[in-house]
């Protein structure tokens, strides 16, 4: 978990540098933005799955 978050932060810093250097509509910036979006999506799915599993566990315990 911590590893993917640090990767996301590095990509975010790199994206901001690229925006400052090339402008917001440059293809290099857009590519980095898409990569960052994919990583964020993976992390969000992982967190949702974790919350879902936690909720199922607590619901099962409460039903007993």
Please report, in tens digits, the pLDDT of each residue of the chain (64 residues total).
Answer: 678 889 999 999 999 999 999 999 999 999 999 999 999 999 999 888 888 888 776 666 655 5
pLDDT reported for residue 59 = 66
CB 36 within 8 A of CB 16: no
pLDDT reported for residue 1 = 60
What are the sequence ranges of the domains in the chain? 4-63
Rounded Cα gap, residues 10 and 59, in angstroms: 38
pLDDT reported for residue 57 = 67
Helix (H) or strand (E) holding 7: helix 2-22
- Give the CATH fold of the 4-63 domain: MYOD Basic-Helix-Loop-Helix Domain, subunit B (4.10.280)
């Amino acid at each position: 978990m911590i590893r993917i978050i640090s990767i996301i932060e590095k990509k975010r810093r790199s994206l901001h540098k690229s925006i400052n250097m090339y402008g917001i509509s440059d293809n290099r910036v857009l590519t980095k933005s898409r990569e960052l979006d994919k990583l964020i999506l993976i992390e969000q799915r992982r967190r949702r799955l974790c919350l879902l599993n936690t909720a199922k566990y607590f619901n099962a315990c409460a039903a007993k």
